[in-house]
Structure 1
Amino acid sequence: MLLIHVAEGRALVWDAEGARLLRELHGICGSPIGSLTRQPRQNHRLGLPLSLLPEEARLLAEGGLAQLVGPPAGPDMLATETPLEDTHARQRCLALERRRQQLQALVVHIRTEQRKKGQADEETDGQDPKAEGVDSPLAPLKELEGLDRDFSFPLASCLVHLPTACPRSRTLRCLDWRHPSPHWPHPSDPTYHLRYAIYRDLRRRGYYLTAAGKFGGDFLVYPAVHNPGTTLPHRPSLFWAGDPMRFHAHYVALCLPYNRQIPLPELVTAGRLCSSVKKTVLLCSVVEGERVVCTSMSWSGIRMMLNQAMKDQNNEDAVYIRYRTDGSLFNLRRLQAHTKTQEQLVHELLFADDAALVAHSEPALQRLTSCFAETARTEQKMAFFYTELLSYPHSCSAPNHGSSTGITYGS
């Protein structure tokens, strides 16, 4: 059974094999928060321990796959089996032996080079000590004679061993996920039960879920594909196809009480934030005990009106863009090939909150603009205060800002 160590409300997994099984078999990713041994001064790639959401820890404990354990009740005596001095003594012996091997190899190398030059080893014995250099084995030989006496290995150079598991056996204190405690206070929070009900329901539908604090929500929801297979309790047979390592999240879930009145600025804030990162807001609530209802909200605006306005338009009014996806993006000659190229019909170009209508001629651009204006008046979704139209002559590749078009908006 997997042990989940709980401290001050955080659930941590220290076992590397357990973290691997959580991801591969149960679709629980967690968040690595520990530094790597060989790269401790960076935060791009992190390692153990694996931090779990409270909902993830409860799901595992409720399914009998894990046990919550807390710190010992008494004084925490977690000293390593060997003190630092013993570790330093062992590392000094290893460093001394490595230095001796280096000096011996250096002496052998120098003498080999001397033989190649036709010099005898005895000729170097009568030389002036000031002349001793790289080409003489006297210097490394003298260092070898007093190596045991003069070798220095400061304590600051000692590598400190940080165990990822307790170096000796100790008694662990099991915690009950149903009852609050100083290290597991979540059961006393009403929002925790609401979040867990929604988390469990989305898990049953086969979605990956991770924390969404940086997006202003409760969970990031990743896609799932139905497929037969063995599964974790509390979810049907699904294949976890929306792994966050391969996919972006589709939804940002907000857990709200069913009868709560949501202020309009809060809805607008959530909609605009999720629209800027190409995600859909998912308003989730629990009704009638454990039944979860979800409402999606997308900040579409211009995109919705453009789709409505252009659905019946003639393809001759639009522009075809030719492209290919096999590399050499800036090699324009590759776009002239008759194979491996694709064409996409484009009526408009969206740039964040702005949109541009594109056409090959003035009459076609006038027809597109009139359809868009009529749709906007019908839908009554936006107020247009300023419209700027730029003319791109068909024969030119650069915009001609000085040309005047006879196009009118909403005529």
Structure 2
Amino acid sequence: MKFTQNSIFKVFLKQPFVTNLENMIELDYCHGGIFVFDADDWATLRKTHRILGTLIGNTNVVQTLPLKLLPEEVLLLIDKGIAKVVDRKFVDTPEVTKKYEEFENGLLAHEKVVYKNNRKRQLEVMIDAIVAAKRKRGDDRSSEEILNEELEKSCTVTKENMIWPTFLTPLSNSGICVDVYREVILQNTSDLKYSIYRDLWEKGYYITTGHKFGADFLVYLGDPIAYHAIFVVHCVHDPDKAIHSTEIVAFGRLATAVKKRAVLASLNSEKQVSYITINWIDA
């Protein structure tokens, strides 16, 4: 193994991007998470500011909005004056409750019709085999009766298992908005992780979460749509504390196996970000 400090991060260095928008992007705070519902805001964050987040909607074909942001991404957007976080307070009045129930009941009724029609088409393909099996057990009912029975048995849609659509606007009362300050966001991360994220972002990189590799961040030279990650970054909270050799070996091997550089990142005594790369060299 070979350790090299900082040198690898001298490539692809760009000037920090700072902007002041008259109308800042509004990010929505909901149950501790920060979300983007507007497609134009999502495009601006990705194309202009290199903020990626994670699409959490799903059409069973492709992922869709809303976009959930990392707390480090949110803190950066706040500090750069690009966005602010708002909590759209839901006011549970009788009128709001009635409107919500009407929407839910209408959605449920529509889903029942759609699901029943889809299921009927599926059963019609299999009905001959189903009827033949029933006949062997002495069931002399008509094919139509058996089809309707099977249809009723497999078409139970309730409020507990119904599918809710993906929304492009928050499902809440937008009449009352409360600003959410950076101290609230910081509760879900640490000064260390944010400092490292910000330093990488200001160097021009694209950054996503590294959880699938047991790390803090994955770092890309360009948009992950077109580029593979080049660094797997693990944040070291106490650089003076010894790291067991097996941890370093495991981290280095994992990064090498997925063709990426393993990077240990920490803050030095001057509160500056310091990097150590682990290069795996076969003897």
Please state which band the TM-score falls in when normalised by the shorter chain. 0.5 to 0.7
Among 224, 248, 258, the residue aligned to 2:228: 248
Aligned residue for 1:29, secondary structure, equals coil
Match of 2:51 among 20, 23, 28: 28
Q: Describe the SS at the equivalent of 1:250.
A: strand
Aligned to 1:299: 280
Show structure 2 runs of 5+ residues with no match.
1-23, 111-156
CA distance 1:291–1:173, change in 2 (3 Å): same
Over aligned residues, Cα RMSD in angstroms? 3.3
- How far apart, in 1, do the equivalents of 2:100 and 2:87 lie? 22
Counterparts of 2:47 and 2:34 in 1: how far apart (Å)? 19
Deviation at 1:164, TM superposition (A): 2.2
Aligned to 2:40: 17
Residue pairs, 1:157-306, within 5 angstroms:
163-166=167-170, 169-177=174-182, 179-180=183-184, 184=185, 186-187=186-187, 192-223=190-221, 242-257=222-237, 258-302=239-283
Q: Over alpha carbons, which structure has the higher Rg?
A: 1
Deviations 1:45-84 (A, max 9, x none): 2111101110000100111111112252754857647924
Q: Give yes or no for the alignment of 1:61 onto 2:66.
A: no
Unmatched segments (≥5 aa) in structure 1: 37-41, 92-155, 224-241, 303-411
Q: CA deviation at 1:162?
A: 5.7
CA contact (8 A) 1:3 1:68 kept: yes
Whole-Å Cα distance in 1 between the matches of residues 163 and 255 of structure 2?
Answer: 46
Give how far 1:289 is off.
Answer: 3.7
Partner Cα separation in structure 1 for residue 166 and residue 207 of structure 2: 31
Contact 2:28–2:170, Cα closer than 8 Å, also in 1:
no
Counterpart secondary structure, 1:199: helix
Q: Distance in 2 between matches of 1:203 and 1:295?
A: 17
Which is helix-richer, 1 or 2?
A: 2
| Alpha carbons of structure 1 residues 84 and 210: separation in structure 2 relative to 1, 3 Å | closer
How far off is 1:86 after superposition?
Answer: 9.2
Question: How has the CA–CA distance of structure 1 residues 80 and 49 changed in structure 2, closer, same or farther, with 3 Å as cutoff?
Answer: farther
Secondary structure of the structure 1 residue equivalent to 2:259: coil
Distance 1:192 1:85 in 2: 39
- Structure 1 residues 85, 201: CA separation in 2 closer, same or farther (over 3 Å shift)? closer
Shift of 1:7: 2.7
Q: How far off its partner does 1:260 sit?
A: 2.3
Aligned residues: 209
Cα 1:79/1:252, change in 2 over 3 Å: farther
Q: Structure 1: how far apart are the matches of 2:53 and 2:83?
A: 15
Task: Give the distance between the partners of 2:275 and 2:97, measured in 1 at CA.
Answer: 47
Structure with greater proportional strand content: 2
CA shift, 1:8, in A, is 3.4
CA contact (8 A) 2:205 2:219 kept: yes
Q: Give per-residue Cα distances to partners, 1:286-316, cap 9 Å, x unaligned.
A: 11343111110022224xxxxxxxxxxxxxx
2:3 pairs with 1:3:
no
How far is 1:283 from its partner?
0.8
Q: Is the 8 A contact 2:36 2:68 kept in 1?
A: yes
Residue identity matched to 1:62:
D
Structure 2 CA distance, aligned partners of 1:84 and 1:219? 40
Aligned identity (percent) is 33
